[in-house]
Amino acid sequence: MIDRLDGRLIELLAEEPRIGVLEASRRLGVARGTVQARLDRLQSQGVIRGFGPEVDPAALGYPVTAFATLEIKQGQGADVREHLAGVPEVLELHTTTGHGDMLCRLVARSNADLQRVIDRVVGFDGIVRASTAIVMENPVPLRIIPLVKQASED
């Protein structure tokens, strides 16, 4: 899928996103055209989706994160998805196997505000039950580099 050079390139870009193609080629010890070609390939293959800004919800005034497990009334899935997609505080939504039917990540301005968010989330006909887990700490923030390293060494 990806080789060592791809892996090193991704790691380099993750550490110092500001560097350009030329600087990256110097760091990696390859020609500029090579880096350019690798980058193009990685993007067209979908390995690298893009370089969008990583925004911190806490810095935006939403320091509270929670995960909600939702139980959905049969056949209401599509409506619930649409409803949740319309709530800005819903940062992501998954349908899952297991006890609940959906799992979503929420943010709120405070613990008190979280109540408002949850009310808005579950205040919809298709949702039967919700159980919420508030995040206290985040020992491992969303990361991908260790996986990239592993994948590039195969």
Partner DNA sequence: GAATTCTCTGGGCAGGTTGCCCACCGGTGT
Partner DNA sequence: ACACCGGTGGGCAACCTGCCCAGAGAATTC
Residues that bind a copy of itself (CB under 8 A): 1-2, 10, 13-14, 17-18, 45-62, 65, 67, 69, 81, 84-85, 88-100, 103-105, 107, 131-144, 146-151, 154
Task: Please enumerate in sequence order all residues whose Cβ is within 8 A of that of 94, keeping only pairs 6 or more positions apart, or say none.
Answer: 102, 103, 104
Q: Contacting DNA (CB under 7 A), which of 7, 12, 13, 23?
A: 23
CB 105 within 8 A of CB 135: no
Is there binding between residue 128 and DNA (CB under 7 A)? no
Single-letter code of the amino acid located at 46: G
CA 16 to chain centre: 20
When asked if residue 50 is in the footprint of DNA (CB under 7 A), the reply is: no
In contact, 109 and 75? CB cutoff 8 Å:
no
**Minimum distance from CB of 19 to DNA (Å)?**
8
Interface with DNA (CB under 7 A), residue from 1, 18, 75, 138: 18
Residue 133 binds to DNA (criterion: CB under 7 A): no
Cα 104 to the center of its chain, rounded Å: 12
Type of residue found at 15: E
Work out how close the CB of 65 gets to DNA at its nearest, in angstroms, rounded to a whole number: 29
Q: Which stretch binds DNA (CB under 7 A): 32-40, 56-64, 103-111, 124-132?
A: 32-40
**Binds 53, which of a copy of itself, DNA, none (CB < 5 to 8 A, cut-off by type)?**
a copy of itself
Residue 38 CB coordination number (10 Å): 22
